[in-house]
Chain A
Amino acid sequence: MASILQFIANGLVFSSIIVLGSIGLSLVYSIADFANFAHGDTMTIGAYGALVTFGLVGGVGGTFLGLPLGFYIALVVGMGLAAVVAVITHVFVYRPLSTTSIGLLITSIGVAFVYRAGLQAIFGTDFRNYDVPRSGPLPFIQDSLGIAVTARGLAIVVLAAILVAGTHALLQYTTLGRKMRAMADNPDLARVSGIRTKRVILATWVIGSALAAAGGVFLGLFSQIDPRIGFDLLLIIFAAVILGGIGSVYGAMLGGFLIGMIHELTPLLKDVGIPIGIQYAPAVAFVIMVVVLLARPRGIAGELT
């Protein structure tokens, strides 16, 4: 039982990262109208942005949720950097192209290569770490539940939950959020209603990329940073978004949560006689996605938006 709880706890941390990546991918898909293959590398940009910033401000005193305050400054800078890069890419690459969704998709693969090459040229291919002190399992969780959860693991889950709640509040209760939902629903009617869609698309890039960057920073905190971390996660994030129902932000949250969980719970399969390890986790996640799509072709939340 404790072992199942342990896997669930690990799953929550991984899910948090996948959810943050999924929201942006789904937002951009529904409003800018294409599957953005540079989204994973946008996460990586956020991770490196935070890495450099943390190197400069890591000494800022105090901690919150067990992480130094400098880390939060680095997180915000990483999110901002990714948003700026995404907006520049949109304005100078995607927007001027009058091509189809497929044309934009292929273009975004090229953009992904450029992002990654840029990071590699600056930082090399070595693994890097945030210089955040590692700590052991939190005693109060270990004592009460008998599982090992680190402070950084808990912080990732809490911060991701705050960002998800913030996204929800933005979408439901602000004029910008309503405009974004209106555009995802019916872009022509949005313009007919007087929504200046260019601005909403820019805001979508900012929000989606900043969330992705937060995911990238957490991923770097959870494991390590190298120029491929975001790209390596991209297909899993696509699986999450499609499982949830592509274009639906809430579907992406749900799909991200489920895919992240399935991914981390894979080792439990050996308890029911299916001896496969964590290295097969992406395959298992995809198989489950396909099975769900066979039953619900438009994804779990396919018609809810």
Chain B
Amino acid sequence: MSRVLDVQSVDSGYGDVQVLDDLSLHLDEGEIACLVGPNGAGKSTVLKTVFGMLEPWTGSVMLGGRNIGGMAPEEIVRIGVGYVPQTENVFGSLTIDENLRMGGVARGDDLDPVIEELYDRFPILTEKKKAKARTLSGGQRQVLAFARALVMEPDVLLIDEPSAGLAPNTAAEVFEDVQTVNELGTSILMVEQNAREGLGISDRGYVLDQGTVEFEGDADSLLDDPEVSELYLGGGTRH
């Protein structure tokens, strides 16, 4: 299987505060890979470094055969990578329709067909087309945040904590949406605080701690690993 994204020996951080320490991970074509780990492990920092919000201090971020480390986010969007931030991931003062149009500013072609397709896929957005995004509930907002990133039809989608702040049943719906997007051909690198649920829908997983990868492997084997379970999944057995 070919690697669509390959992060190699990256150090990165904010200002002069280092967060990632010699971190390497990759994303295979067509899979969902999930980053789990305690607060402050550097999970979100990985996504920000891949997406150009932070520049890698050392190491490389390879997309296909190209090092995109340090490239600006507005340019990375144009080469097939999308990013759904954890918070403030919709334009609250713009309507749903305008949010989707903003998601497609980098497309050269007519936006209408792809946006219509997204409305078909996420009917909840159709009902609220003309409403300001700030009027949406948490779950609806998350759907809009996805849809905004999908207007570009990215090959790779980076998703930061899709279930954060959502009630369990709403979170389950969001996870279903993640799977649907993946089944339609987008490779997904996801950060998830809710480690069991996140790994549950993923092909592979990485356990991060203190800015580096402590464990990696098939999602199932991580869930079954007693050491990972004990240290990072709050103990107990898989249910």
Contact = CB atoms under 8 A, between A and B. Distances in A.
A191 B83 CA distance: 11
Interface in A173-215: 175, 178-179, 181-182, 184-186, 188-197
Interface in B84-106: 85, 88-94, 98, 101-103, 105-106
Nearest to A248: B93
A201 to B, nearest CB: 13
B93 A192 contact: no
Contacts of B94: 178, 181-182, 185
Interface in B53-103: 53, 72-74, 77-78, 83, 85, 88-94, 98, 101-103
Nearest to A195: B105
A194 B85 contact: no
A150 interface: no
A194 B91 contact: no
A305 interface: yes
B148 interface: yes
Contacts of A181: 91, 93-94, 98
A205 B118 CA distance: 35
B220 to A, nearest CB: 32
A178 B98 contact: yes
Interface residues of A, number: 20
Contacts of B78: 194
A189 B82 CA distance: 11
A191 B76 CA distance: 10
A191 B72 contact: yes
A197 B89 contact: no
B215 to A, nearest CB: 30
B152 interface: yes
B51 interface: yes
Contacts, number: 66
Interface in B137-161: 148, 152
Residue from A175, A190, A191 having most chain B Cβ neighbours under 10 A? A191
B29 to A, nearest CB: 23
Nearest to B53: A188
A182 B72 contact: no
A184 B93 CA distance: 9
Given A175-B105, A178-B102, A179-B102, A191 B91 contact: no
B148 A193 contact: yes
B91 A182 contact: yes
A178 B72 CA distance: 21
Contact of B85 (A188, A196, A197, A305): A188
B73 A192 contact: yes
Contacts of A191: 72-74
A185 B72 CA distance: 20
Interface string A138-178: 00000000000000000000000000000000000001001
Given A178-B98, A186-B88, A188-B53, A194 B93 contact: no
Contact of B77 (A178, A188, A193, A304): A193
Contact of A189 (B89, B98, B101, B106): B89
A185 B91 contact: yes
Interface of B: 51, 53, 72-74, 77-78, 83, 85, 88-94, 98, 101-103, 105-106, 148, 152
Given A182-B94, A190-B91, A192-B53, 10 more contacts: A178-B102, A179-B102, A179-B105, A182-B98, A182-B102, A186-B92, A188-B85, A188-B88, A192-B73, A193-B148
24 contacts: A175-B101, A178-B101, A178-B102, A179-B105, A181-B91, A181-B94, A182-B94, A185-B92, A185-B93, A186-B88, A189-B85, A189-B90, A191-B72, A192-B74, A192-B83, A192-B85, A193-B74, A193-B102, A193-B148, A194-B74, A194-B77, A194-B105, A195-B74, A305-B93
Q: Which 10 A-B pairs have the closest CB atoms?
A: A194-B106, A194-B77, A305-B93, A185-B91, A191-B73, A191-B74, A185-B93, A193-B102, A182-B102, A182-B91
